[in-house]
Structures are given as C-alpha cells and as structure tokens.
Amino acid sequence: MSEGRDVAAGLAAVRQRIAEACARAGREPSSVQLLAASKYQSEAAIRAAYAAGQREFGENYVQELVQKAEALADLSELRWHLIGRLQRNKAKDVVRAGCAVQTLDSLRLCEALAVRATEAHVTVPVFVQVNISSEPQKAGVAIAELPQLLAAVRASPALELRGLMAIPRASEDDAETRSGFEALRELGVQHGVAGLSMGMSDDLELAIAAGATMVRVGTAIFGERPRKEG
Ligand SMILES: *Cc1c(COP(=O)(O)O)cnc(C)c1O
C-alpha cells in the first residue's frame, strides 16, 4: 500500500506531466481534468489523494465503488465515476451511489439507467463509451451505432451527456494510439460532444495532444495496483 506522501508525490508528478503536455499543445492546464483511477487502492490511499487536492475518482466495479463511497462519505467534495463495465441490474446501485457513468455503451443500458434515475429524481452524468479501435469483445458502442445512442441519451432528461470515453487498443506504437484518440475527437466534433475522457498513465500526453478533456490515471498516481485485474 502506498504511503500518503507517495500518493501526494505521484499526483504532483502527474499534474506536472499534464501541465507540460498542455503547454506543448497550447492548451490551458485547466482544460484537462484529472480522474484518479483508484480500483483496488485502499481507502487510505484515496484519502491521501483527496488531502492532496484530488476530487474526481474512478472505480471499475460497482460493489467496490459503493463500499468506498460509504466509507469515504465524509470527503464531501469527492466525485465518483464508474469507469468499468455496468450491468443493467446494477443501474439502481450506481444511481444510489450518485456517481457519473463513463461506460454507457448500449441502448438497453441507457434505458435502464434513465428509468432508475427518473425513479430516484436525480440526473446521472454520463459519458458514452466508444469501441474506438473496433475490437471484438471490447466494451463500447460500435461507431456505427453511436448516433442512435447519443440521440437516446440526449432525449432522456434524467441523463446528462458529459462526453465520449474510449480506451484505444493497447499498442507499443504511439502512432496507432494517437490515431485512436484522434478518432474519438473527430467523433466528438461530428456529434457536438465537447467532453473527451481518454488517456491513462502510459499515454496521457498523446491524449492531451489529441484533445482529451479528462485523463484517467491510476498507476502513475498510486503506484502498481495491489492486486492484478482478473
Ligand atoms: C485502470 C484504468 C485506468 C487507469 O489505468 P493506469 O494505466 O493505471 O493509469 C484508466 N481507465 C480505465 C477504464 C481503467 O480501468
């Protein structure tokens, strides 16, 4: 588990990388939000990040998010995002947790979320996840189906469209990664969606150069995750 000072140092280093990438791209550092991807990280590590000024946190599993949200409810300015796959039968749980959903990728999920949010009289901030590298089995709506899904989100008063989200195919080749990010930006322009959640520890500079408005960073803030992803 990371010591608090390590987390603070990790955050400072990531903020520096963001500032430098923004300077190179001629962008304001305030135009890029940092989301701390805290899956498997301890509550102490999250508290340390919060104490160092971090406010947006992303979790991959609904159960883990709900538990952490309860345990950390005293951190009143903390905002949660679900960045892992959401099953329709968990829509109620995420609505209750009050988190943003970055992985909205189907009409059926859109409808389930809208129904639950309407019942609870709340508005859920959402990002539509796009399968930008068209990988079979990968989460995200197919590019061809994006217009229909965006229309459904926009037609629902209980959902607030914040942006598009993508995880391009993992690649050693910067040019390939960059083209994934640029493809998401193009879709944003084409469909009038300003928010772009893209870029992680290894490629946040490429994402910022391509127009990311939010980068989701885990390892570079917290160090290696305590457990491997299953
Ligand atoms: C884990 C995760 C991240 C952060 O990954 P790092 O490489 O640790 O920065 C970003 N986005 C999603 C969807 C993730 O699951």
Q: Place 230 in a pLDDT band, splitting at 50, 70 and 90.
A: very low
8 A C-beta contact, residue 215 and residue 204: yes
- Residue 69: CB atoms within 10 Å: 19
For a mutational test of ligand 1's pocket, the pick from 56, 83, 127, 202, i.e. the residue with the most ligand atoms closer than 8 A to its C-beta, is 83
Mean per-residue pLDDT for 32-38?
98
59-99 pLDDT, tens digit each = 999 999 999 999 999 999 999 999 999 999 999 999 999 99
Structure token pair of residue 66: 């709900």
Hey, whose CA ends up nearest to atom 10 of ligand 1?
216
The set of residues, in sequence order, having a beta carbon less than 8 Å from that of 175 and lying 6+ positions away, is: none
Nearest-atom index, ligand 1, CA of 83: 13
Q: Place 2 in a pLDDT band, splitting at 50, 70 and 90.
A: low
Q: How far is the CA of 45 from the centre of ligand 1 (A)?
A: 16
Q: How far is the CA of 48 from the centre of ligand 1 (A)?
A: 19
141-170 pLDDT, tens digit each = 999 999 999 999 999 999 999 999 999 998
Q: How far is the CA of 119 from the centre of ligand 1 (A)?
A: 31
Distance CA 97, CA 113 (A): 13
